[in-house]
Amino acid sequence: MNTRRNFIRTVGASSALMLLPGTMLPFGYSGWDIPEEWVEAEISKGKIKGMRSAGVNIFKGIPYAGKVSGDRRFRKPGPLASWTGIRDTFELGPPAIQAPRRNEPAPSEDCLFLNVWTPANDDKKRPVMFYSHGGGFVIGSGGSAGQDGANLARNFDVVVVETNHRLGMLGFMYLDEIGGPDYAGSGNMGLLDITEGLKWVNENIHVFGGDPDNVMIFGESGGGAKTSCLYAMPDASPYFNKASIESGPGVRMLTKDMAARNTELVLKEFGLTKNTWKKLLEVPTDEILKVQAKIPFVPPFQEKKHTGGLTEPTVGGFGPVVDGTVLPNHPFDPTAPNISKDKPLMVGWNEDEYTFFAWERKDTEFATLDFWGLQTRLEPQFGADTSKVIETYKKARPEASPADIFVAVSSIVMMGLGSIEIAQRKAKQAGAPVFLYNFGYKSEKLIPGTDYPMGTPHAMDISFKFNNEQPPKDGEPDQPSFFGGGRPERFIASHNMAAYWTGFAKTGIPHATDLPHWPAYNLETRPTMRIDTKCKVIHNRFSQELAMWREIGRLP
């Protein structure tokens, strides 16, 4: 029998814990990560040691590809060397270059590490849930606490994998036109890193009790946009079977012309030209971050009336490039990608996405708007259509305040219209099913400086779908979650969301015992699952509002 498949050995925690320096715990420990024993496994490049904690085997900081610094900057990773002995994998690997992250190692250019959570390293073929983190395309990591995969593995018998990958300028700097063959695909290195992670899963996940032939990719915000791109990428296609795009509808990405203009901005900032660009290979990463922060972000590209939203292409900033090769076309424009026609898809958004950005940007003004102020606030975005937008929402939601309407309009434009556009185009393709959702559990926490509750903000779904909204352990007080608030009902909503997600991972159909049947989206009844403490299918939700968005050209 395959020795890698069966090489598992455990060591008592009493002796292993003495190896830890003092009372310090390694980077990446969560409240559950108290090692009861060490667990060893053999993967393609050598033996690794992780930990077993509360019924889950946890391996953190596993290298999945080689060097991306020095002469490998802006290029595909170098080969990953095998190692001798046993490599410790109970600390997070360094995240991509960005500002320092709390409870994580210092960011590093060489950042290609991943984390695995599994109920057991055995021969059971569990579904694999492969997550791409959010943070746009410039921040984030696979070690963020809210997306810890232990509860999904423990409570739903799945294997969870999360990667670090290149971000910002180092992950998405388009050099194809000036760098030559060695830099082909440079505008999509961050995506190609994720693809290397998927290849690693295909080769190694059986060692962790996972099924390499049953892999779900999913991600939130920037991770949703990354997932949109992976869904359309030939390089990634062989390595996953289904996908979920969450509050990050990547309908369109940067064109080559737009990416080339971004590159010109970068070169100008560094005082370089197309002939001297290779000096970028010598620039320290702290200088890269300084210049990266200067690259302007402008409103969404408006060559035609797109839906807008945070994942629409912009001139300025960094993100995936429709280069005709790595990313052959826009992910969902003008159609859903044929390469994934037979792969089931989930897509959706949170009902109150904007309140996160109000919190982040310290926007308290929106909460005190009257209807005149609402008109003034929306006009820069909607121009002559502003009155139509407001009147439609007033009619559809007669009890809504101006602040409520501002949040609803901002939220659906940011994440909702693109999600619906994806669902429509996937349904029209008449291949594998697509399932549309709204996450609607309401947090009672107030936006600082206002009396306005967070509701269901952007990113709140992360801790819910990872089943990390959990009752306190015996004798411990319940600690309110960062966005989710302190009501115990949140535990039910978290279980419901995680149950649907893991059901989808297992079969390609979101389902769970004792939860309502979730029908596939279609262009006649347009069913949407609203996820809360009680889940409900709503047909043709937001019909009045969507008719207006179509009328003014914001939705096909």
Instruction: Give 10-20 pLDDT, tens digit per residue.
Output: 332 222 222 33
Same domain membership, residue 241 and residue 375: no
Same domain membership, residue 383 and residue 531: yes
The tens digit of pLDDT for each residue in 487-513 reads 999 999 999 999 999 999 999 999 999
Of 95-109, 222-236, 301-315, 487-501, where does mean pLDDT reach its minimum? 301-315
Same domain membership, residue 242 and residue 350: no
Same domain membership, residue 380 and residue 245: no
Of 92-96, 235-239, 475-479, where does mean pLDDT reach its minimum? 475-479
pLDDT, residue 316, reads 57
Same domain membership, residue 197 and residue 55: yes
Same domain membership, residue 404 and residue 536: yes
Same domain membership, residue 248 and residue 358: no
Please say which residue of 254, 289, 323 terminates a domain. Answer: 254
Res. 367: pLDDT tops 70: yes
pLDDT band at 473 (very low <50, low <70, confident <90, very high): confident
Question: Is 456 part of a structural domain of the chain?
Answer: yes
Same domain membership, residue 189 and residue 77: yes
Please say which residue of 209, 230, 254 terminates a domain. Answer: 254
Q: Are strands 8-12 and 37-43 parallel, antiparallel or unpaired?
A: antiparallel
- Distance, in Å, from the CA atom of 355 to the CA atom of 444, rounded to the nearest integer, reads 12
The total of other beta-carbon atoms located within 10 Å of residue 422's CB is: 27
Res. 535: pLDDT tops 70: yes
Q: CA geometry: angle at 495 spanning 493 and 499, to 5°?
A: 120
Q: What does the pLDDT average to over 255-283?
A: 95
Q: What is the CATH number of the domain that holds 447?
A: 3.40.50.1820
Label residue 119 exposed, middle or buried (CB < 10 Å: 0-12, 13-18, 19+).
buried
Question: Is 30 part of a structural domain of the chain?
Answer: yes
Question: Is 367 part of a structural domain of the chain?
Answer: yes
What residue has token string 């029209």?
428
pLDDT, residue 296, reads 65
Q: Tell me how far CA of residue 391 lies from CA of 141, 382, 545, in angstroms.
A: 42, 13, 10
Res. 28: pLDDT tops 70: no
pLDDT, residue 317, reads 75
Question: Is 404 part of a structural domain of the chain?
Answer: yes
pLDDT, residue 1, reads 35
| Mean pLDDT, the chain, whole residue set | 91
Q: What does the pLDDT average to over 62-91?
A: 97
Question: Is 511 part of a structural domain of the chain?
Answer: yes
Res. 34: pLDDT tops 80: no
pLDDT, residue 244, reads 98
Of 19-28, 72-81, 266-275, 468-477, where does mean pLDDT reach its minimum? 19-28
Q: What does the pLDDT average to over 63-70?
A: 98
Res. 302: pLDDT tops 80: no
pLDDT, residue 36, reads 84
User: For residue 453, what are the domain limits?
Assistant: 344-551
pLDDT, residue 273, reads 96
Res. 184: pLDDT tops 60: yes
Q: What is the DSSP string of 164-218?
A: ----HHHHH---HHHH-GGGTTGGGHHHHHHHHHHHHHHHHGGGGTEEEEEEEEE
- Distance, in Å, from the CA atom of 508 to the CA atom of 435, rounded to the nearest integer, reads 10
Q: Which amino acid is at 360?
A: E
Query: Dihedral of the CA atoms 503, 507, 509, 510 (nearest 10)?
Result: 10
Same domain membership, residue 84 and residue 230: yes
Same domain membership, residue 387 and residue 247: no
| Percent of the chain whose pLDDT exceeds 90 | 87
Q: 0.95 exceeded by the pTM?
A: no
Please say which residue of 222, 254, 286 terminates a domain. Answer: 254
The tens digit of pLDDT for each residue in 144-180 reads 989 999 999 999 999 999 999 999 999 999 999 999 9
Same domain membership, residue 250 and residue 353: no
Same domain membership, residue 351 and residue 219: no
Question: How many structural domains does the chain have?
Answer: 2
Question: Is 311 part of a structural domain of the chain?
Answer: no
C-beta of residue 461 within 8 angstroms of C-beta of residue 372: no
Question: Is 286 part of a structural domain of the chain?
Answer: no
pLDDT band at 33 (very low <50, low <70, confident <90, very high): low
The total of other beta-carbon atoms located within 10 Å of residue 180's CB is: 9
pLDDT, residue 478, reads 85
Question: Is 91 part of a structural domain of the chain?
Answer: yes
| Percent of the chain whose pLDDT exceeds 70 | 90
Res. 532: pLDDT tops 60: yes
More confident residue, 297 or 472: 472
